[in-house]
């Protein structure tokens, strides 16, 4: 029993634990937006976050939007030091339509602190914005928290201007995790109609999904598989899958052609 206990203690000592004031290495990398679990962003509609750490710094890249996008890059010393970040762009990205702009030439003052043994990163920020009534000071607390399994991250923003409403919340997942494609099949199974295309797509699905879930079909109303849309919504809303819709067989073949041989 003593020997077994010693092995358990040794195993715990060998586990990688973030040092004091350091973040969990699981933060590093790119995180993508889960829209159905997050608050509305407005013009940019989506958000991705990229984390990079050293022993004493953290770099955070917020990319608001995709095609039409805005990049907010922060390189911060952690531990409570005030970082002065120059304002070089007037865009206030989280809600462009509010008519608020950042004063170019000003500064943002940010303190960065790791909490909960590196599982939580908290930024305390102060800056001024320009609105219809002139310049106004704002304070904000940005909290980034890892899920227990390290697959998801919750980003919460509490601002001094939101005194009567809840903080803004965005939920993100690790990039490349639980990403798939979907198609809505047409209700045409006639031999002289779309049957050859439907047969091709079902065969392609079998090849693409041979070792991982990559392509999902929603069958038309009235088809025997009446549950496919409900299952799709379950994976999307309860299992945090992100689906990209394919519009036709040509698009599907372009995406999955590497799985097709012969």
Residues 77 and 54: their CA atoms lie apart, in Å, by 9
Q: How many residues does the chain have?
A: 262
Structural domain boundaries in the chain:
17-174, 179-259
- The alpha carbon of residue 33 and the mean position of all alpha carbons in its chain are separated, in whole angstroms, by 3
pLDDT value at residue 113? 97
Distances (CA, A) of 216 to 12, 96, 112, 199, 256: 42, 35, 42, 15, 13
Q: What percent of the chain has pLDDT over 70?
A: 92
* Helical segments of the chain, H only: 2-14, 195-208, 228-237, 249-256
pTM of the model: 0.78
Superfamily of domain 17-174: Calycin beta-barrel core domain (2.40.128.20)
pLDDT at 131 over 50: yes
Lowest mean pLDDT among 2-6, 108-112, 121-125, 257-261: 2-6
5-57 pLDDT, tens digit each? 444 434 434 444 454 468 999 999 999 999 889 999 989 999 999 999 999 99
CA dihedral sign, ordered 77, 78, 82, 84: positive
Secondary structure (DSSP) of 181-216: EEEE--S---TTTTHHHHHHHHHHHHHHTSSS--EE
């Amino acid at each position: 029993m003593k020997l077994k206990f010693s092995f358990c203690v040794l195993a715990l000592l060998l586990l990688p634990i973030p040092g004091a004031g350091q973040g969990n290495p699981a933060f590093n990398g790119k995180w993508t937006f889960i829209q159905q679990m997050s608050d509305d962003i407005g013009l940019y509609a989506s958000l991705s976050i990229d984390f990079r750490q050293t022993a004493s710094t953290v770099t955070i890249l917020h990319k608001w939007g995709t095609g039409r996008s805005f990049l907010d890059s922060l390189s911060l010393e952690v531990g409570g030091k005030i970082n002065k970040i120059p304002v070089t762009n007037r865009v206030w990205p989280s809600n462009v339509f509010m008519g608020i702009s950042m004063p170019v030439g000003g500064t943002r003052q940010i303190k960065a602190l790791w909490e909960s043994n590196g599982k939580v990163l908290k930024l305390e920020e102060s800056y001024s914005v320009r609105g219809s009534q002139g310049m106004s000071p704002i304070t904000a607390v940005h909290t980034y928290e890892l899920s227990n399994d390290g697959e998801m991250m919750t980003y919460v923003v509490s601002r001094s201007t939101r005194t009567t409403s809840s903080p803004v919340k965005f939920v993100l997942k690790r990039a490349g995790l639980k990403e798939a494609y979907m198609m809505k099949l047409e209700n045409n199974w006639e031999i002289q109609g779309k049957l050859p295309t439907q047969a091709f797509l079902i065969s392609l699905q079998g090849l693409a999904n041979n070792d991982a879930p990559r392509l999902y079909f929603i069958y038309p109303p009235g088809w025997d598989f009446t549950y496919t849309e409900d299952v799709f919504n379950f994976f999307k809303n309860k299992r945090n899958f992100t689906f990209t819709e394919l519009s036709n067989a040509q698009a599907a073949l372009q995406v999955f052609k590497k799985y097709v041989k012969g």
